[in-house]
Structures are given as C-alpha cells and as structure tokens.
Amino acid sequence: MCLYETSVSKEVEYVLELTKAVFVIAQDQEQVDKIIEIKSKIPQVRNVIFIESKGMRGYVKDPWFLHIEELLSMGKEFENKEPELFEKNLWEVKPDDICQLTMTSGTTKLPKFAMLTYRNFIKMILGITGVDPIEEGDDYLSFISPGLESNGLLPWPR
C-alpha cells in the first residue's frame, strides 16, 4: 500500500489500522517522523524500513528501524538458504488471488480499498498492450498506483 508523501499522520494511522500492515517502508526522515508520531497506535507494525539515510542517524539505534540495504541483505541471505522458495511460491498463485489493494482517493469519505486480482491485472495488461504494444527497448510509463511494479510476466497460463 502506498500513501502520498503529503499524507498526514492521522491518514497514515487510518491506513495502517485498516490494512493491519506489519511493515512500513518510508522514503525519508520526514515520512518516518509521521510513523513515530503514531507509534503507540500501531502496535502491529514490526519494522519501519527507510530508504534515505539522511537525518536518520539518531534513529538507527532503535531496532524498530531498518535501512533498506539491511533488508535487501537479509533477503539475499534468505534466498541463499531457500533458493527455490520464490519460484515455488510464484507458481502457487491462482488467477483469482488478490494481487493488489488500490486505495480510493477518499475525496468524499474515508478512503476504501479496491481488491484487484491477478486475472484482472492480466486482462488490463493485455488490453493496454493490444492498443499500445510494448516492444523491446521501449520506455513505458505506468499509470497504475504508486508502489506497484510489474513486468507483466505472470505464472499462467502454464
């Protein structure tokens, strides 16, 4: 789930409570400070992962904070121990499983979530590329919500 960087702490709290998120990825100290402000209200959050180190020197002594490079290193270690796990899990996904929660704008009321399935996503990608084909070497701008990255290679049909 991705929030706009202009979201205030109360909005962040709402989304974290609604999603029951246990990890938060924050771009920088400004975003981390919003999480710190609501820390007592989000006990399910195990770690706040930050990307930019600038301004974070005083925070890193707290194990609640984790730099993205540490997380990537932990991931590499885990992959070395379980090299087949990603591929195994990839093929267990079913077309009607939820692959993305997209938050509505919340312009009239509190935001809600739309649940998109892999099937929906594939149909959307095929529809877009049917009208606007993507060729090797093309640059492509996704209009999907922030935080979602996909290269269109999904595990079905097999």
Do 6 and 75 lie in one domain? The reply is: yes
87-113: pLDDT as tens digits: 999 999 999 999 888 877 777 887 788
Do 35 and 72 lie in one domain? The reply is: yes
25-80: pLDDT as tens digits: 999 999 999 999 999 999 999 999 999 999 988 887 889 999 999 999 999 999 99
Query: Would you report the helix, strand and coil content of the chain in percent, each value rounded to 5?
Result: 35, 15, 50
* Domain count within the chain: 2
What is the per-residue burial (b if ≥16 Cβ within 10 Å, else e) of 20-49?
eeeebbbeebebbebbbebeeebeebeebb
pLDDT at residue 144 greater than cutoff 60: no
Task: Band the pLDDT of 158: cuts 50, 70, 90.
Answer: very low
- Print the domain residue range for 111: 93-133+143-149
pTM: 0.72
